[in-house]
A and B are shown apart, each in its own frame.
Chain A
Amino acid sequence: MSEKKKFERPVIKKVQTGMTNKFGTRTEFDPITHIDKVPVKELIEKHGSPLYVVSEQTIRSTYQDLYRAFSTRYPKVQMAWSYKTNYLDAVCRVFHQEGSWAEVVSGFEYDKALANGISGEHIIFNGPDKDEAALEKAITKKSLIHIDHFDELYSIIEIANELNITARVAIRINMDTGIFPQWTRFGFNYDNGEAWEVINRIMLQEKLELIGLHAHIGTYIMSALPYGVAASKLANLAASVEKKFGHNVKYIDLGGGFASKNTLKGAYLSGTDTCPSFDEYAEAITSALVRSEIKPEHLPMLILETGRALIDDAGYILGSVIANKRMPDGKRSMIIDVGVNFLFTSFWYEHKITPAQSFSHHTEDTIIYGPLCMNIDIIREHITLPPLKRGDHVVISRIGAYNMTQWMQFINLRPSIVMIDMDGKAHVIRENETLNTVKQNERIPEHLTDINKK
């Protein structure tokens, strides 16, 4: 008996002539059947759907690309892994193995970095909320505390005096770098002289050592030039400190904010075409530092806290088709088992979504909905995809940043996360949640134990 032909859902599509398709042309030409040589089908069979997948190989190669871009242009470069971007221990440890310090923004993240084996001197403590207990710990362990506001400065002075330990501090500085929006809510302003004022106060304190200067100009910055402006301004301050106090800051920290290759909603061109390369960012920053007034023998270490651009490409979420629906206007919609609670970034990115099995060249404009019984649960408002049937799999790419920290346990339990190691072996790095995960922290008052009794 001859083998039957492969079935594809019958599709009829209107030919649009004479105008461009505002939703763009077809983008997916090949299925993603494997991630780092591991079959997608096998991953889902073994670990369920949806499933987060992290590629160790991509983390390491992206890190090495970034480090190479800077270290070939500047003598002293140090990366600090931005914990909030993805603080899964396995992910952090890959970065630490590559040489990254830790950059944390809460007491919880600070403890996580310590537990990952990072010594206190290699933890950069950022953020507007550092409670006294966390500050005490950070001062004692000689961490690099980046001061955000005057209240924090005075808390640190008090604690350092009480402990009789010199606190190693830097200040976060906000500034006009020619971009909009200008982030002014964090740190002290450069342009109105506030930052210089704080530096003077710090320099007069016996128990504070001004060790660095820090700026983080924004996020997903699609031009390298503002980083050059920021580096120049920080270098000016460093040179002024040297001139007035004879003190050399040990480092200049340009924070993070490099764009990943994702495409922003409403963007005309793909992020892969429009975002600066690591070399462009590196050229802008290192040129500004080298050309500054800082004496060559006192060039400070350059610290980078790049998060998004280092981890986005290494993360995938695998999902399955729950249903196909036809909207009243004839438009096709597809429900998948990945909702906005697991893919927070779908609110601002047009994520790349690719079928995990072979398909024909026929496509339809499609809306992709998540599984939540909530109207806002839309993964892609417009995407050109081939016909997929219930149970087919999709691969959503470039989701490594923020989705595994800003995710929500909502309606569904959060799924497993696996990491594929350098040899192509998949390891579970976070187990899927169970009913007990949710219930274990709940407590039932005595009078509600029996639901049949009022």
Chain B
Amino acid sequence: MQIKKNIAVSDSGFVFDPTSGESYTLNTVGVEIINLLKAGLHEDEIKHKILEEYEVSASAYDKSFIDFVAMLKNYELVEYAD
């Protein structure tokens, strides 16, 4: 899974999808995860990084990540390699 290449993400958490013309906002953790996904990091690497940086348990992070990715899919911002 990766973020579609044409999706633009600003440092402040503003996301623009040129295909649909839709815009989105992200909170701090959302920006960080989406940037790591864009940089091509694997899910496990992202998890490791977030757990190191933030005060959160592995299970709480996992639940929030599943939900976040579901929303990225819902907004059609991700694609899967063949």
List the interface of chain A (C-beta within 8 A of B): 3-15, 17, 324, 326, 330, 360, 362, 387, 389-390
Contact = CB atoms under 8 A, between A and B. Distances in A.
A436 B35 CA distance: 55
B62 to A, nearest CB: 12
B64 interface: yes
Interface residues of B, number: 32
Given A7-B54, A330-B74, A12 B67 contact: no
B25 A10 contact: no
Interface string B14-28: 010000001111111
Contacts, number: 80
B40 interface: no
A12 B30 contact: yes
B59 to A, nearest CB: 10
Nearest to B71: A12
Contact of B65 (A5, A6, A10): A10
A355 to B, nearest CB: 15
29 contacts: A3-B55, A4-B54, A5-B55, A6-B55, A7-B54, A7-B55, A7-B60, A8-B28, A10-B26, A10-B27, A10-B64, A11-B29, A11-B30, A12-B15, A12-B34, A12-B75, A13-B24, A13-B25, A14-B23, A15-B22, A15-B24, A330-B70, A330-B71, A330-B74, A330-B75, A360-B27, A362-B25, A362-B30, A389-B64
Contacts of A8: 27-29
Contacts of B74: 330
A11 B60 contact: no
Q: Is the interface of B mostly helix, strand, loop or mixed?
A: helix
B82 interface: no
Nearest to B30: A10
B23 A7 contact: no
A7 B75 contact: no
A360 B26 CA distance: 12
